Amino acid sequence: MPFIHKLEQYDRLSDTERQLLEGAIVRQRAVPKGEDMIREGDCPAESTFLIKGFAARYSLLRNGKRQITALHVPGDFVDLHSFLVKKTDHAVMAITPCTVGTIAHETLRGISENHPHLARLLAVNIVVDGAIHRQWIVAMGRRSAREHMAHLLCELFVRLRAVGLVTDDSFDLPLTQAELGDSLGLSTVHVNRVLQDLRKEGLITWRGEALAIEDWPRLQEIAEFDPTFLSLEVEPR
Amino acid sequence: MPRFYFDVREGARLTPDEDGLEFDSLDAAEHEAACTAAEIGRDRLPTGGSREITVEVKNEHRQRVLTITVSMQVDRVEPPPQSPRA
């Protein structure tokens, strides 16, 4: 299960803990591309994690504009926080065809009462989600379009590498330019132009659907990217 | 859907759009171009390198169909005004 693999990027799991998590998954289901896996205003009795595919948290404005507030990749919980906040304040949609799994809130309650180390590791997920949001705010408010795009590509590269989805410095980036624009708060034309610029400078290339990072140090420098906020260190927590 | 190309001019520097993007109408392409001009302006105009950004929209035959220009003008008062006497 990719979410168990992801927890193992933060700290070692005991065999008992791993078995407990594997037994906690109640069901798996497919979510078609473009469909909501979580709807705004829902009060789910379970938390959902991604096994396959990309998902986006988003909010819609009255004028029809959409802001994507987070991107989720395999191994991520998309609404672990719904265990605590009950009513969801935003929706989560499948960017690609997705496979998701769920864990009942009741089970999560049991884990939090009887397995404090696991509960802390699950909490790291929520803490890291918050850290990613902070980076997005900084980028949205203060970075240029080019720096912002570079930062997002660096973030996705490191997150996908952590769950084994980077091969030869390249990864599937199944977002349309409109979806990238909704993530960055930029127009599609601007996104297109920034990507063309990064490509012309030899920083990235497209290999079919996959994006290849050709000059990681330079891309990181443009983005002022420091992966510390992703907390990808195996250490006692 | 028709394809449009968005060439961007910043001062003397022209960045041609090699890929283009599809939009359902010229109105949609114009709106996108206007947002793009405003966004590039936000990034570039205050730094003073160039004070004018132009987005030229071309159709699928690479014929220009519209131009959008954003500019910033900064006028300092010269000589600077004297401080009023206390």
pLDDT one-digit tens code per residue, A181-196? 999 999 999 999 999 9
Q: Check pLDDT > 80 for residue A233.
A: yes
Which residues are within 8 A (CB) of A93 and not within 5 positions of it... i.e. 6 or more apart?
A34, A35, A36, A37, A55, A56, A58
**How far is Cα of residue A177 from the mean position of the Cα atoms in its chain?**
18
- Interchain contact, B6 vs A188, CB within 8 Å: no
pLDDT over 70 at B22, yes or no: yes
Size of interface A-B (CB pairs under 8 A): 38
The helix/strand/coil state of A90 is: coil
Supply the pLDDT for residue A117: 95
Q: Look up the CATH number of the domain holding residue A30.
A: 2.60.120.10
Using beta carbons and an 8 Å cutoff, which residues of B are at the interface with A? 6, 8, 15, 17-19, 21, 32-33, 35-36, 39-40, 43, 55
- Please indicate, yes or no, whether the overall pTM of this predicted structure exceeds 0.80: yes
| Same domain, yes or no: A27 and A101 | yes
- Residues A95, A10, single domain; the answer is yes
Residues A154 and A101 in one domain: no
Q: Is residue B35 in some structural domain?
A: yes
Q: Is residue A130 part of a domain?
A: no
* Domain CATH code at residue A189: 1.10.10.10
Neighbours of A107 (CB within 10 A): 19
* ipTM reported for the complex, 2 dp: 0.89
pLDDT for residue A1: 84
**B44 part of a folded domain:** yes
Q: Distance (Å) from the C-alpha of residue A118 to the closest C-alpha of chain B?
A: 44
In a domain, B81, yes or no: no
- pLDDT at residue A209 greater than cutoff 90: no
CB–CB of B39 and A186 under 8 A?
yes
Please report whether residue B23 resides in a domain.
yes
Residue A131 lies inside a defined structural domain of this protein: no
Provide the pLDDT for residue B86.
67
A126 assigned to some structural domain:
no
Window A:134-163, CB contacts with B under 8 Å: 144-146
Q: Do A85 and A18 sit in the same domain of this protein?
A: yes
Output A125-134 pairs: Cβ under 8 A, ≥24 positions apart. A125/A6, A125/A7, A125/A76, A125/A77, A125/A80, A126/A80, A126/A81, A127/A231, A128/A229, A128/A230, A128/A231, A129/A70, A129/A80, A129/A81, A131/A229, A131/A230, A131/A231, A132/A70, A132/A229, A132/A230, A133/A69, A133/A70, A134/A229
- Do A21 and A93 lie in one domain? The reply is yes
User: Residue B67 sits in which domain range?
Assistant: 3-71
**Cβ of A193 under 8 Å from any chain B Cβ?**
yes
Q: Are residues A114 and A19 part of one domain?
A: yes
Asked whether residue B76 is assigned to any structural domain, the reply reads no
Q: Cis peptide leading into A2, omega within 30 of 0?
A: no
Residue A112 has pLDDT above 80, yes or no: yes
Q: Are A147 and A112 within one domain?
A: no
**Arithmetic mean of pLDDT, B32-37:** 96
* B35–A177 CB contact, under 8 Å: no
Same domain, A95 and A147: no
In a domain, B49, yes or no: yes
For residues A147 and A105, state if they share a domain.
Answer: no
User: Using omega within 30 degrees of 0 as the cis cutoff, is the peptide bond preceding A74 cis?
Assistant: no
Contact A190 B19 (CB under 8 A): no
- Residue A188, chain B, CB below 8 Å: the answer is yes
Q: What is the pLDDT of residue B9?
A: 93
Q: Which residues of B touch A193 (CB under 8 A)?
A: 6, 8, 15, 17, 36
**Among chain B residues, CA nearest to A185:** B39
| Domains contained in chain A, number | 2
User: Are residues A222 and A114 located together in one domain of the fold?
Assistant: no
Query: Does A81 have pLDDT greater than 90?
Result: no
* Within-domain flag for A217: yes
Q: What is the pLDDT of residues A21-56, one digit of tens each?
A: 999 988 899 999 999 999 988 899 999 999 999 999
Q: Could you read off the pLDDT of A133-179 as tens digits, one per residue? A: 999 999 999 999 999 999 999 999 999 999 999 999 999 999 999 99
d(CA A38, CA A57): 9
A117 and A159 within one domain = no
> Is residue A73, in this structure, part of any structural domain at all?
yes
- A188 to chain B: nearest residue by CA? B32
Domain of A68, in residue numbers: 2-121
Query: Does some domain include residue B33?
Result: yes
Domains: count for chain B? 1
Name the CA radius of gyration of chain B, rounded. Answer: 18
Tell me whether residues A196 and B6 touch, CB distance under 8 A. Answer: no
Has residue B79 been placed in a domain?
Answer: no
Which of A46, A84, A90 lies closest to A72, judged by CA?
A90
In this prediction, residue A123 has a pLDDT band, given cuts at 50, 70 and 90, of very high
Any domain includes A158: yes
Question: What whole-number distance in Å separates Cα of residue A34 and Cα of residue A41?
Answer: 18
- In this structure, the answer to whether residues A97 and A184 fall within a common structural domain is no
